[in-house]
């Protein structure tokens, strides 16, 4: 299939297109469900998660579906409380900061701790009937650990960076239990039917190159390798990764996600030829009038240097004010230009 | 003087040290004033602004003073209303978005529109009595324009980027009037006694390389050149600039500010040898215990590759929970190691 071939840098008939957060609030059909259910209810009821996952696949000509779930669900079977507070995002209370907090974190069996997500994967695969492949995902351990330690979103990750530097052994323990759980969870997604995996390290760009290499890279690399041994490709995504893009690529993803900041041809020179790239339209550009947007989309395709080993996507997720017709138009343009 | 020599890549007896936001809430003496006055009152009363500027100079062995002011003061003589809303930051209401909004923006004479700041500069120079040089500053036009357009802080700069791409002529008009006012304001600071200027493009890292080069660089370059013609060095600062660090350096600052993300030796390879560098300790590292912090400070000094053309600073401003004794310790370490 087009998307899976691109992940492996094989020839494709056109550049594959999907969008981060393609299942989400910009879609009226999603908002109708969201009016009735909370995010956690949508994630915890496999039929609903499957329905949300499939909404954009029905609406647009996309080359992959991505599981609807949340990167923080994994903290619950580890023994933490997760809430979503309106207007403030996720809250993990109490945060994980001491030896005792980390020692309490549980290893869990994915079918027990994350059974609803795995059931959703099975339903989606059945309903997709091989129309397009399904991408499973998890949060990368740095981004998830940062929420666990800060207790929610953070501007400067001060507690997370404090644990890294002032309590490196504790950081190691936390990252180890989190990585092991994440690897098991992703392998179980593959067993349930996921055909590719994206590891989301959304906030890793807050780190310096030194911090990334010392405190993050070994754990993400181990997860990526564990998933690849199951025979599926891994997309490694982060924003703000340009300051350590070579290290980020060397973490080992089959596909390296690139945010909107660098020129894709510059990124292509840094990322080894053996790896595919994914990106990198600025998500806010989808708010522009169609004639203004079109050349910006074209520039991304041009700088990708041909369809081989390029997966078209945004540099981050679709924002909720986006017009669904624009999403449709972009997918169609990219397919037209590259086929 | 040590700091001014370093700006020009001349030999110094030790690496100069100053800290962004060295006059601020982490200082008890600042908090005592802040309990009595609002930020705008502190900026608008020259004696108070001078007092705040001098507080850290009295407390620590720093190599430069930086004027206490706010980058958004300049919007007031242009005809806009500026407020600081507790817990939410600055608010400019109504925001500047249409032809009409931009057409209404005024050119102003610095001694009339920004007289209080210029008076503060004169008082500070007198009180400093050449103990250390005084850095004046302004916000770079992108960062100030983004506040004007968004009406306050923004997560994704959607309206700013929309103006750039969908209304490039309007963007040009806005950036032109803002740049012209900024250049005049900075030249007036030099006339009043500022011995170096820092141009703060704090949020420029939200942009792609393309956007920076097309929509920002020409305006910042023009301001930098206008100040340099007055015979004082310019420090060009931004965060998240690594994806376009070469272009950022080529904008022409005598000194290029580097945030905490890249290794300083890597940045040094990208920034031409004719330019000095400033940075780049992670501000949250100042919250670490002294023995953990010390090797991190040492690494910055080591990666700077010697004291020639290096000004030690943070990658962004001091955060308010910082212990003043730590600030003192860092300044002393850097001086000791390099003298």
For chain B, give every domain's residue range: 23-272
H/E stretch holding A119 reads: helix A115-128
Distance between CA atoms of residues B90 and B147, nearest Å: 8
Find the largest Cα–Cα distance for chain B: 57
Q: What number is the average pLDDT over the span A23-48? A: 97
**φ, ψ dihedrals at A168, nearest 5°:** -60, -30
pLDDT at B306 (0 to 100) = 83
Beta carbons of A72 and A144 less than 8 angstroms apart? yes
In B61-214, DSSP assigns E strands to 65-66, 82-85, 89-92, 134-139, 196-201
With 90 as the cut, is the pLDDT of residue A296 above it? yes
**Using CA atoms in the order A257, A244, A295, A12, what is the torsion angle rounded to 10 degrees?**
-40
Q: Does the beta-carbon distance from B285 to A165 stay under 8 Å?
A: yes
pLDDT at B33 (0 to 100) = 97
Mutate to test the interface with A, among B242, B248, B292, B296 (most CBs of A within 10 A): B242
Q: What number is the average pLDDT over the span A276-305? A: 97
Q: Does the beta-carbon distance from B158 to A299 stay under 8 Å?
A: no
pLDDT at A271 (0 to 100) = 97
**Using CA atoms in the order A282, A288, A289, A295, what is the torsion angle rounded to 10 degrees?**
-30
Name the residue among A208, A244, A261 with its Cβ closest to that of B209: A261
* Numbered residues of chain B with Cβ closer than 8 Å to any chain A Cβ: 156-158, 161-162, 165-166, 205, 207-210, 240, 242-244, 260-263, 266, 282-285, 287-289, 292, 296, 299, 319, 321
Beta carbons of B261 and A207 less than 8 angstroms apart? yes
Domain A2-338 has CATH 3.20.20.210: yes
Average pLDDT, chain A: 97
pLDDT at A307 (0 to 100) = 81
**Percent of chain A surpassing pLDDT 70:** 100
Per-residue tens of pLDDT for chain B, all 339 residues? 899 999 999 999 999 999 999 999 999 999 999 999 999 999 999 999 999 999 999 999 999 999 999 999 999 999 999 999 988 899 999 999 999 999 999 999 999 999 999 999 999 999 999 999 999 999 999 999 999 999 999 999 999 999 999 999 999 999 999 999 999 999 999 999 999 999 999 999 999 999 999 999 999 999 999 999 999 999 999 999 999 999 999 999 999 999 999 999 999 999 999 999 999 999 999 999 999 999 999 999 999 998 889 999 999 999 999 999 999 999 999 999 999
Q: Does the beta-carbon distance from A261 to B157 stay under 8 Å?
A: no
Distance from CA of A318 to the nearest CA of B (A): 12
Name the residue among B157, B209, B289 with its Cβ closest to that of A166: B289
Chain B contacts of A266, Cβ < 8 Å?
A: 209
pLDDT at A306 (0 to 100) = 83
Mutate to test the interface with B, among A21, A164, A208 (most CBs of B within 10 A): A208
- For the domain bounded by B23-272, which CATH number is listed? 3.20.20.210
Degrees, nearest 5: CA angle A154-A156-A161? 105
Confidence category of residue A86, pLDDT binned at 50, 70, 90: confident
């Amino acid at each position: 299939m087009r998307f899976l071939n691109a992940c492996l840098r094989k020839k494709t008939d056109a550049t594959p297109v999907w969008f981060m957060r393609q299942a989400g609030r910009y879609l009226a059909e999603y908002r109708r469900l969201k009016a009735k259910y909370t995010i956690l209810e949508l994630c915890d009821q496999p039929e609903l998660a499957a329905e949300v996952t499939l909404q954009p696949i029905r609406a647009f000509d996309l080359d992959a579906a991505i599981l609807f779930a949340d990167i923080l669900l994994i903290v619950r079977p580890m023994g933490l409380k997760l809430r979503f507070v309106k207007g403030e995002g996720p809250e993990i209370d109490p945060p994980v900061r001491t030896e005792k907090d980390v020692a309490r974190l549980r290893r869990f069996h994915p079918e027990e701790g994350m059974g609803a997500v795995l059931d959703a994967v099975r339903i989606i695969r059945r309903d997709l009937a091989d129309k397009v492949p399904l991408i499973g995902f998890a949060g990368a351990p740095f981004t998830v650990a940062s929420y666990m330690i800060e207790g929610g979103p953070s501007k400067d990750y001060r507690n997370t960076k404090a644990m890294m530097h002032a309590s490196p052994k504790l950081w190691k323990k936390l990252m180890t239990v989190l990585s092991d759980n994440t690897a098991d969870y992703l392998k179980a997604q593959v067993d349930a039917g996921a055909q590719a995996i994206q590891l989301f390290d959304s906030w890793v760009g807050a780190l310096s190159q030194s911090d990334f290499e010392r405190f993050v890279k070994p754990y993400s690399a181990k997860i990526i390798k564990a998933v690849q041994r199951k025979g599926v490709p891994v997309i490694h995504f982060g924003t703000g990764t340009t300051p350590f893009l070579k290290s980020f690529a060397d973490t080992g993803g089959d596909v390296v996600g690139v945010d909107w900041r660098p020129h894709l041809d510059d990124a292509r020179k840094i990322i080894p030829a053996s790896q595919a790239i994914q990106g990198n339209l600025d998500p806010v550009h989808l708010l522009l009038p169609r004639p203004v947007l079109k050349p910006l989309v074209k520039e991304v395709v041009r700088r990708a240097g041909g369809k081989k080993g390029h997966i078209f996507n945004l540099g981050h997720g679709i924002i909720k004010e986006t017009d669904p017709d624009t999403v449709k138009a972009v997918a169609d343009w990219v397919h037209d230009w590259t086929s």
